[in-house]
Structure 1
Amino acid sequence: MQDHDLLSHFSIIQDYRQTGKIEHKLSDILLLVICAVIAGAEGWEEIEDFGHDRLTWLQEYADFDNGIPSHDTLARVMSLINPQQFQRCFANWMQSCHKLTEGEVIAIDGKTLRGSYDKRRRTGAIHMVSAFSTANGVVLGQVKTDEKSNEITAIPELLKLLSVCGCLVTLDAMGCQKAIAQAILDKEANYLLAVKGNQKRLEEAFAKHFPLSHAVQYPGDYFSTIEKAPGREETRFHIVSDVIGDFVELSADWPELKTLGVALSFRTTQGEIPENATVRYYISSATLTAKQFADAIRNHWMIENQLHWRLDVAMGEDDCRIRRDKAAENLAGIRHIAFNVLNSHKTFKAGMKRKQKKAAMNTDYLSELLMAKGFS
């Protein structure tokens, strides 16, 4: 079996059902759910329907000796799977089939699954933090934040699952924490962190050393872009600096701090004066040119518009009302598997939704997708 075979990586997941009462193998259920979600199924009943329609095809890859499990069985089994085991299997699978390159941007950000909020049980919506390879558009791993915590505690747990040696890990201001910076360095990667008011001393130092009047006439390394659209124009200006002034003292708290970055942007609408500039501050352990800095922070937002947006629009994640025990968290991981399978396959050039429909209608295409991930 190939080392990137998806199901071989997930075979170590423990089945908590009573042995004598098992009618459907866990591996069969996982295969069914993965294939159905790839084909656009968004709930247990739709997954069951897909199974009945594609039973003969599914039996080419697994036993299904007792046919297709009911939607109730699917819901119960998926709610019993240990999410931490699932997350480790997912990360190991991605490490086996996706090789990162030196300097590759890995964006980490969180997303709330709004449909998982359960008013009746008084449980809040779950929040998943994901790592996204911006170069190839795939999810490398994900973890759920603790109920009484936030992304600050989840990010180090996610980093433990990942192999990001030589990469540039980007985070928004929530992740601008000394412990997180050190955790990234411990993985032999570099950090690029956005700075806001939660790090007051850093923000004050940026405001002092890089006032707007100084930034727009910056004598050092800078890079600018202009994007034009009908009726408006957006200008982005990026500057980088070595550690200077007050930052020398602050660098004692921020491990291996090497680069300070400032990004300014303003929009001009036809017939109107330019809007006030938006200013954002960054710190990094990598030595970056202004262009490298600009590319990295632009790539970070790919996790929003290429992953989170597609999960909602193409896969209906925010509308999903699955909430039972661990099912919502595990199904979020299944959606990430489906996303990676679909997005990394380039033979059929189409959007995510269209690829899903093709997979639902054409088992040859679905087989092609599975073969790319080691199925035989």
Structure 2
Amino acid sequence: MDLVSAEQLQSAFAEWMKACHDVTDWAVVAIDGKTLRGSYCRGKGKGAIHMVSAFSAANGVVLGQVKTAEKSNEITAIPELLKLLNLQGCLVTIDAMGCQKKIATQVLQKGADYLLSVKENQPALADAFEAAFPMAKVVNFGGDAYVTDEKNRGRQETRYHIVSEITKEFQKLSYEWPGLKTVGVVMSFRQEGDEAPEAPMIRYYISSAELSAKKLAEAARQHWFVENKLHWSLDVALREDACKIHRG
């Protein structure tokens, strides 16, 4: 196995997944990275591998992977991963680290749409969201809104989703972000048992697709399948993060 070229194996795997995986319109492809904590080697002075994966939420399969030296290299790894994939008609979801103009452009060039999470690493976008969607406006939003309510093991989580077309706060930014059509806000409340609800968590999103509030809710939720169905399985079933230090 050691004689096999890793790059050729990677390319062959991606081609195989293209052949056996049917991509449907609006299918969510979640891209996220994970550090393999058990892959380090102290003897050779090698740090742990960081793997960026593209995960088909509908089919529960990995479409392709790219290895990086460290988490900070996700921004350079994601474009390499996108080159391997057939994404025609898909909705590509990426967390805030992948919220980059070049990545958004590349997703569009692949015939797909993007849904990107926005945080402080894009200060202009973050400021625009805070100006356009103060708490009072979010709570009393008059446009398209959708609410989900989940109860599990004594914990209740309510999520409130709103979407809007480009408002005046985003006008200048729409020229910088290719294909930008929809901005969205997700506000979630969590309550444990009879305790008072925690302070709401607010997340911002931008998308090149014309999303309804319900579609935003579904896509944002499916993005986390890469954590719950892929990363969790790798940790628990395959012991990918198991410590290599042994006694005796």
Q: TM class by shorter-chain length? A: over 0.9
Alignment of 1:276-315 (within 5 A): 276-315=199-238
Find the counterpart in structure 1 of residue 11 from structure 2.
Answer: 88
1:211 alignment counterpart:
134
Q: How does 1:293-372 map to 2 (within 5 A)?
A: 293-319=216-242
1:90: Cα distance to partner?
A: 0.4
Deviation at 1:320, TM superposition (A): 7.8
Q: Paired residue for 1:183, among 85, 89, 106?
A: 106
Bigger radius of gyration among the two? 1
Q: Identify unmatched segments of 5+ residues in structure 1.
A: 1-76, 322-376
- Provide the rounded CA distance (Å) in 2 between the counterparts of 1:86 and 1:125: 21
Which residue in the other structure is 1:252 paired with?
175
Q: Secondary structure at the match of 1:101?
A: coil
2:83 aligned to 148, 151, 160, which one?
160
Matched AA of 1:112:
T
Distance 2:24 2:71 in 1: 36
SS at match of 1:88: helix
Q: CA deviation at 1:146?
A: 4.1
2:90 maps to 1:171: no
Is this contact kept in 1: 2:90–2:113, CA < 8 A? yes
Q: Contact conserved, 2:33 with 2:71, CA < 8 A, in 1?
A: no
**Correspondence for 1:349:** none
1:112 and 2:35 correspond: yes
Name the one with the larger helix percent.
Answer: 1
Q: 1:233 aligns with which of 140, 156, 167?
A: 156
Q: Does the C-alpha gap of structure 1 residues 199 and 301 become closer, same or farther in structure 2, counting only changes over 3 Å?
A: same
In 2, Cα distance between equivalents of 1:311 and 1:293: 27
**Does structure 1 retain, via aligned residues, the 8 Å contact 2:114–2:208?**
yes
**Hey, which of these two has a bigger chunk of strand by percent?**
2
Cα distance, 1:234 vs structure 2? 1.3
2:146 equivalent among 205, 209, 223 = 223
| Structure 1 residues 148 and 286: CA distance shift in structure 2, 3 A | closer
Instruction: Determine which structure has greater relative contact order: mean sequence separation of CA pairs < 8 Å that are 6+ residues apart, divided by chain length.
Output: 1
Q: Return the alpha-carbon distance in structure 2 between the equivalents of residues 224 and 149 of structure 1.
A: 34
TM-score for the superposition, normalised by structure 1: 0.63
Question: Of residues 23, 28, 40 in structure 2, which corresponds to 1:100?
Answer: 23
Cα displacement (A) at 1:140: 0.3
Deviation at 1:226, TM superposition (A): 1.1
| Partner residue in 2 for 1:143 | 66
Q: Which moved more, 1:124-133 or 1:81-90?
A: 81-90
Counterpart-to-counterpart distance in 1, 2:169 and 2:17: 41
Q: SS state of the match for residue 175, structure 2?
A: coil
CA contact 1:218–1:239 (8 Å) conserved in 2:
yes
Q: Distance in 2 between matches of 1:148 and 1:271?
A: 39
CA offset at residue 203 of structure 1?
A: 0.4
Confirm or deny that 1:266 pairs with 2:189.
yes
Provide the aligned C-alpha RMSD in A.
Answer: 1.5
Amino acid at match of 1:133: S
Aligned to 1:21: none
* Deviations 1:234-288 (CA, angstroms, capped at 9, x unpaired): 1100000001112011011100000001000011233332211000000000000
Q: How does 1:189-204 map to 2 (within 5 A)?
A: 189-204=112-127
**Residues 220-239 of structure 1: per-residue CA shift (max 9 Å, x gap):** 00000111235432110000
Distance 1:234 1:260 in 2: 23
Q: Which amino acid in 2 is paired with 1:122?
A: G
CA distance in 1, matches of 2:4, 2:243: 19
Q: CA deviation at 1:147?
A: 5.4
Instruction: State the SS of the aligned residue for 1:252.
Output: helix
Residue pair 2:48, 2:70 contacting (<8 A) in 1 also: no
- Identity %, equivalent residues: 60
> Given residue 173 of structure 2, which amino acid in structure 1 is its aligned partner?
L
2:156 touches 2:190 (CA, 8 Å); kept in 1?
yes
Counterpart secondary structure, 2:195: coil
Alpha-carbon distance in structure 1 between the residues aligned to 2:170 and 2:4: 47
CA contact (8 A) 2:41 2:48 kept: yes
Q: Within 1, Cα distance between the matches of 2:206 and 2:21?
A: 28
CA distance 1:147–1:300, change in 2 (3 Å): closer
